[in-house]
Structure 1
Amino acid sequence: MQVRRAAVLGGGPGGLYAARLLKLAQPSCEVVVHEQGDPDTTFGFGVGLAAGTQRKLEAADPDTLRDLVVAGCRHDMTMSVGGRMTRVRNDRLIGIARTELLAVLQRHAEKAGVRIEYGTRRGTGEFDADVVIAADGVSSATRAAGDFGETIDVGRGLYLWCGADFALPDALFAPVETGHGVFVTHAYPYSGGRSTFLIETDEETWRRAGFDRTTDATPPDASDATSLRYLEEVFAGELRGHPLIGNRTRWTRFRTVRCARWSDGRTVLLGDAAHTAHFSVGSGTKLAMEDAIALVEALDQEPDVGSAYARYEATRRPAVERLQELARRSRLWWESFPSRLHLPVEQLMVAYMTRAGNVPLDRFAEGNPDVVTAAAEQYAKAPPPAGDLVDWVLDQPLRHGETEFPHRVLPAVPDGLTVTEFADVVTDPWNKTGDDVVARARQARRDGADGFRFAGPADRLAVLTRLDLAERVRTEVGGLIIVDGPASARADLAAGLISGRCDLVSFTEEEA
């Protein structure tokens, strides 16, 4: 369709990128971005662009990507636990200052002929436009006022964003135990010789440290200085003597936004306005810019607005929902992260990389054989040979008490072992249903059970959730832990074994 006029609400990455791509695709279209903020004021620190996102940006708009890469900072990833460190190579990951990202996108949008207006809040009904693209963020006023069928799920953990005035050599994941509980940072360098420090904790630790009170006392336009000074001491080693920098920094809980519909009349949602996915999978900027690519393609190729919006949503929704599910699992893993600090750092890194089921164990091993070899030796007390890593993990023997198992695949429970089976349908192993399973497992142990078997549906998501539930019981209750799953899930089950989520697995028949 030929778009005469397009109004874009929001001057963030998604809105600016959509505006540029639309103007490039349809030069005669009048495209105006309406950003309520000041052009010289932005919030946040650095953002990450992974290799997959860079490939998509290169195909859509190589000129913009080239400037983003020049402005960015490449880095690998390091995890530090208990004085030990391990490193993962990821040489196409870049961090870029949010200010630099927006400057590049603003410059390229204006170069294409987009007009950008700042400083005024606008509503969708104010425009004489064929298309209104609402890219106004997680707290979207457009979404709240329209008929989009929104739902918002709020996470249990708390986090805050801050920064530091030096560049870390790598992205860093580091937990620190304090007298109040565990705090963990996800930190990474970005351009300008600075680093982002994202810091998470659980609600009990947050309250014990008094941060519920400091959060209530911090105005919306200020930073929680008390928390920042406390966290400077907690992460003094990681900060290397530098202070933490705030920018409207305050504790909050992650909000997962979902919408039943992404469009309402001539208005369409894009990026965080339509959907969010937890920051631990680095997804906000990625999703918004990939949305922009698909939306502009649909507008250019379909005959009318309704068809274009339907095509855009049909194209993007499967990928978004897949990433939201990965992000949900990642969020639950991070919210329960302190329970894993007993693991050696290499095993913990394998657990981290396989936490959401997106990175197969053998693929991770191909790129980082030193990390996986160390984790395998911690798992089996022997180095893995060259060959099929999954087979090797499953073939390792296990001694549990007085019982010897020749390998980790259990055909039947041996005589003399009492095993309690759980077949509960659980979507979140750390919710009340998960709490109930843990309570029943504790009682079963008191009654003499040697271990537990976790059974259920054969689909992959159910198997991944069983592994998480099994890990929780293994950590909090103990005993021999067995997880059932189909042979098609053998790689996931092997990752669960080497990551300390279970002790044995049992293959079941596939569902028809």
Structure 2
Amino acid sequence: MSRYAVIGGGPAGLYFAALAKSLDPTREITVWERNAADDTFGFGVVFSDETLDGIAAADPVIAAAMEAEFARWSDIDIHYRGRVETSGGHGFAAISRMRLLQIMQQRCLDLGVDVRFQSVAPTAAELSAEYDLVVAADGVNSLTRTAFADVFQPSLDPRTCRYMWLGTDRVFEAFTFIIAETPYGPMQVHAYPFSRERSTFIVEMTERTWAAACLADEPRTDESSTDECGPARMTELLADHLGGHKLITNNSKWLRFTTVRNKTWRHNNIVLLGDAAHTAHFSIGSGTKLAMEDALALAANIQRHNDIATALERYEADRRPVVQSTQRAAQASLEWFETIEHAVDKAPEQFAFNLLTRSRRVTYDNLRQRDPAYVSRLDTWFGDGNPPLFQPYALGDARLRNRIVSAPITLDVAVDGVPGDVEFAHLAGKALGGSGLVLSGRTAVSPEGRKSPGCTGLYSSGQVKAWRRITDFVHEHTGSLIGVQLSHASRDLTLPVEEIAADFARAARNAVAAGFDVIELQAGHGNLLSVHLSPLTSPHINREFPLQVLDSVLDGVRGELPVIVRISAVDWAPGGTTIEESVATAAAFVAAGAAAIDVSSGEVVPHEKPLYGRSYQTPFAERIRADVGAPTIAVGGISSADDANSIVLAGRADLVAIGHAQLHDPSWPLHAAAALDYAGEGAFWPAMHRAGSGRPPSAGRARPQLSLWDKEDSLHRRWRTNG
């Protein structure tokens, strides 16, 4: 007979105990819970339809009991500046946390699990010696994790916003985001119904807004006790959204969210479960979901493998990728709310879409499948009703056919700086592929400015002639514009700015003569201008040097070409450039005459890969666009038209730079247009490719079934409770 000990009687611990016991009734399972059976904190918990499918398959008894209590809805409402923007087809269900625990407690009782309430568990070390398995489901402040910190190697990341978990007797009709712009700063509410009488009502705000709103009149800073400033003050400030209803407390405190990560979740026969192992910000509604999915995976692997060590290894291998993906989405979401002050100047249509797509899990294409009418309205608001990616864009006097930029990629095969057939084929292929703007790779402004002998240049007549051959082809045979990235690869801070500026001015004049439509000034990635802008490579940030170079380039083009500037927004290294410093740098470039900022990051000093995952540089482009009020180009990790459409429509950037994706598929823009069934002017099909402009038959995808409104509800409410 196997003996299992479970520390913690929350959803993770109870669900695991019930599943493990139902799979093998001979198991002796004991759960210790320090609170009473009827104690609970919080209000409602929310699940997606996908998670509920897994719960139903694992334990139909628990699933049926939950189903009888659910409030269901399919809409998301966003209240912003007197408007309500609604997106449908999402599919959610919520239940009172108390009822969820009662259902699981009863299931454990029926199965014969020994649940000991108001009991402090022995230590995990003590239990480990007596039991075959110790499941530590002891929450975000896990004592087990702390006791074996040298093994689990936890990383605790306390965030900056303040939030308070409240309830209300106002029953919302959908998952509701409220953005209230108060005299103290913006506040956001995450609200959703969980019964016929109640809704969850989480209030969140930045530290600055919280201090201004709560401490100005009633200076209270103790987070460990109920803060009457919170509910009373929030009722006053959010009265318009409560509609006369009251806020309800339940051990409600002002808190800061902590993201928990661990290098491993297992130690001998001890395993972490739920919040003890990992947390994900409440704004994506995944806390209880992750905990219950953990329990399901652990129970399944223990059933599948006789050896506990193997079962725990497989459990972590199965769950870690899913958890990491969720945490990446949660990280993007929580950072969006932490910086909401920089987003509240958008129009309601764009703000709502920006909020919906903040985690990158909900996207343009995703919403187009769930609620076609909603996305159609957005497309019409944004432009002419066609996909945002294929709307035209004016960059200075240059008119781009679409919002796609072929990112500069250095080939390093030139001879004496002269671009040859390889550069011709590379750039011509990108232009034939349909990009609005094609940028050359790093192009030196002097022989000394080359990073390698194979670097192209723009400092001799022979180079100008060779470039002209390429630009003439692009202009004659494609619908693209073509630009050149001017750079100097030295990292020598002592080089005289007058000499360097003169080299850049000459290259700019040559760019005009070579027939380029746009110039990009490389001031990122550790090149000469970049090292003046990073505290890791310069004694202080010296904007005067690159600004003088920009001024010389603008003099060189005499207004004939727009000049954009590429920067590394952050260095991804301790003590490096911050986004606030880069906002100031971008503002200085724009004030000096830059037409746009091309926002990249890193490559100034060696650094580790950023945490954020795909499209991790886009938030920096959005921040610069919002704070500086200038056009930006988003760089990095954009692999699909869905990514790109989401970025442009959300106002995160005006243009998107496609790099590696277009190396794999030079005709990426045209294929994206075909996949979107778009055949307008934004997609220029060269004569030799027009026969393939239709959508290939294999491109169709089955659409997921959508959650629909309850058509039997005579009141046409957008959620329902069963039972």
TM-score normalised by L of structure 1: 0.92
Partner of 2:43: 45
Superposition deviation, residue 489 in structure 1: 3.5
Q: Which of the numbers 435, 442, 445 marks the counterpart of 2:590?
A: 445
Amino acid at match of 2:97: R
Question: SS of the counterpart of 2:99?
Answer: helix
- Report whether the alignment pairs 1:144 with 2:295: no
Aligned residues of 2:615 and 2:635 also touching (Cα < 8 A): no
* Within-5 A mapping of 1:57-68: 57-68=55-66
Question: SS of the counterpart of 1:241?
Answer: coil
* Within-5 A mapping of 1:103-122: 103-122=102-121
CA distance in 2, matches of 1:47, 1:210: 27
Partner of 1:383: 385
CA distance in 1, matches of 2:196, 2:255: 27
Partner of 2:93: 94
Question: SS of the counterpart of 1:209?
Answer: helix
Partner of 2:178: 174
- Report whether the alignment pairs 1:235 with 2:238: yes
Partner of 1:186: 190
CA distance in 2, matches of 1:426, 1:174: 34
Q: Which of the numbers 320, 323, 341 marks the counterpart of 2:323?
A: 320
Aligned residues of 1:31 and 1:114 also touching (Cα < 8 A): yes
- Report whether the alignment pairs 1:196 with 2:194: no
Identity %: 34
Question: SS of the counterpart of 1:229?
Answer: helix
Q: Flag the 1:350–1:488 CA change in 2: closer, same or farther, 3 A.
A: same
Aligned residues of 1:156 and 1:202 also touching (Cα < 8 A): yes
Unaligned runs of 5+ in 2: 405-436, 439-481, 484-516, 519-560, 604-608, 665-723
Number of positions where the alignment pairs a residue of Structure 1 with one of Structure 2? 498
Superposition deviation, residue 233 in structure 1: 1.6
Superposition deviation, residue 179 in structure 1: 1.3
Deviations 1:229-266 (A, max 9, x none): 11112211221111211112121111011111111222
Q: Flag the 1:326–1:338 CA change in 2: closer, same or farther, 3 A.
A: same
Q: Which of the numbers 283, 287, 312 marks the counterpart of 2:286?
A: 283
TM-score normalised by L of structure 2: 0.66
CA distance in 2, matches of 1:489, 1:266: 43
Superposition deviation, residue 33 in structure 1: 0.9
CA distance in 1, matches of 2:614, 2:633: 12
Shifted more, 324-333 versus 477-486: the winner is 477-486
Superposition deviation, residue 214 in structure 1: 5.0
- Report whether the alignment pairs 1:216 with 2:226: no
Unaligned runs of 5+ in 1: 385-391
- Report whether the alignment pairs 1:348 with 2:335: no
Partner of 1:369: 372
Aligned residues of 2:7 and 2:13 also touching (Cα < 8 A): yes
Partner of 2:210: 206
Q: Flag the 1:61–1:275 CA change in 2: closer, same or farther, 3 A.
A: same
Superposition deviation, residue 400 in structure 1: 4.9
- Report whether the alignment pairs 1:484 with 2:486: no
Aligned residues of 2:569 and 2:620 also touching (Cα < 8 A): no
Shifted more, 319-328 versus 201-210: the winner is 201-210
Question: SS of the counterpart of 1:120?
Answer: coil
Q: Flag the 1:345–1:133 CA change in 2: closer, same or farther, 3 A.
A: same
Shifted more, 74-83 versus 117-126: the winner is 117-126
Q: Flag the 1:240–1:208 CA change in 2: closer, same or farther, 3 A.
A: same
Aligned residues of 1:95 and 1:190 also touching (Cα < 8 A): yes
Q: Highest relative contact order (Cα 8 Å, sep 6+), 1 or 2?
A: 1
Q: Which of the numbers 632, 639, 644 marks the counterpart of 1:493?
A: 644
Partner of 1:389: none
CA distance in 2, matches of 1:437, 1:143: 38
Partner of 2:491: none
Superposition deviation, residue 426 in structure 1: 5.8
Q: Which of the numbers 11, 25, 34 marks the counterpart of 2:23?
A: 25
Partner of 1:387: none
CA distance in 2, matches of 1:352, 1:48: 19
CA distance in 2, matches of 1:464, 1:214: 41
Partner of 2:84: 85
Amino acid at match of 1:284: G
Q: Flag the 1:206–1:104 CA change in 2: closer, same or farther, 3 A.
A: same
Amino acid at match of 1:397: P
CA distance in 2, matches of 1:485, 1:124: 45
Partner of 2:502: none
Q: Flag the 1:401–1:82 CA change in 2: closer, same or farther, 3 A.
A: farther
Aligned residues of 2:214 and 2:233 also touching (Cα < 8 A): no
Aligned residues of 2:572 and 2:602 also touching (Cα < 8 A): no
Question: SS of the counterpart of 2:394?
Answer: strand
Q: Which of the numbers 419, 444, 447 marks the counterpart of 2:564?
A: 419
CA distance in 2, matches of 1:427, 1:327: 20
Deviations 1:262-288 (A, max 9, x none): 112221110000110111111110111
CA distance in 2, matches of 1:70, 1:174: 29
Question: SS of the counterpart of 1:216?
Answer: coil
Superposition deviation, residue 404 in structure 1: 2.8
Superposition deviation, residue 482 in structure 1: 1.7
Superposition deviation, residue 88 in structure 1: 2.0
Question: SS of the counterpart of 2:204?
Answer: strand
Q: Which structure has the larger Rg over C-alpha atoms?
A: 2
Partner of 2:674: none
CA distance in 2, matches of 1:487, 1:204: 33
- Report whether the alignment pairs 1:124 with 2:128: no
Aligned residues of 2:376 and 2:385 also touching (Cα < 8 A): yes
CA distance in 2, matches of 1:487, 1:7: 46
Aligned residues of 1:11 and 1:35 also touching (Cα < 8 A): yes
Aligned residues of 2:596 and 2:630 also touching (Cα < 8 A): yes
- Report whether the alignment pairs 1:397 with 2:397: no
Superposition deviation, residue 432 in structure 1: 6.1
Aligned residues of 1:256 and 1:276 also touching (Cα < 8 A): yes
CA distance in 1, matches of 2:201, 2:582: 36
Aligned residues of 1:88 and 1:368 also touching (Cα < 8 A): yes
CA distance in 2, matches of 1:508, 1:300: 46
CA distance in 2, matches of 1:302, 1:187: 42
Shifted more, 284-293 versus 125-134: the winner is 125-134
Partner of 1:436: 581
Aligned residues of 1:223 and 1:247 also touching (Cα < 8 A): no
Amino acid at match of 2:99: E
Shifted more, 174-183 versus 414-423: the winner is 414-423
CA distance in 1, matches of 2:139, 2:236: 33
Superposition deviation, residue 419 in structure 1: 1.0
Question: SS of the counterpart of 1:210?
Answer: helix
Q: Flag the 1:432–1:173 CA change in 2: closer, same or farther, 3 A.
A: farther
Aligned residues of 2:566 and 2:597 also touching (Cα < 8 A): yes
Amino acid at match of 1:133: V
Q: Flag the 1:486–1:88 CA change in 2: closer, same or farther, 3 A.
A: closer
Q: Flag the 1:403–1:178 CA change in 2: closer, same or farther, 3 A.
A: same
Partner of 1:471: 622
Q: Flag the 1:404–1:167 CA change in 2: closer, same or farther, 3 A.
A: same
Amino acid at match of 1:419: I
Aligned residues of 1:211 and 1:227 also touching (Cα < 8 A): no
CA distance in 1, matches of 2:221, 2:637: 49
CA RMSD of aligned residues (A): 2.3
CA distance in 2, matches of 1:426, 1:377: 38
Amino acid at match of 2:312: Y
Aligned residues of 1:463 and 1:489 also touching (Cα < 8 A): no
Shifted more, 344-353 versus 172-181: the winner is 344-353
Shifted more, 43-52 versus 162-171: the winner is 162-171
Question: SS of the counterpart of 2:131?
Answer: coil
Question: SS of the counterpart of 2:91?
Answer: coil
Q: Flag the 1:182–1:456 CA change in 2: closer, same or farther, 3 A.
A: closer
Amino acid at match of 2:653: C
Deviations 1:346-371 (A, max 9, x none): 32232223222222311211211232
Aligned residues of 1:474 and 1:501 also touching (Cα < 8 A): yes
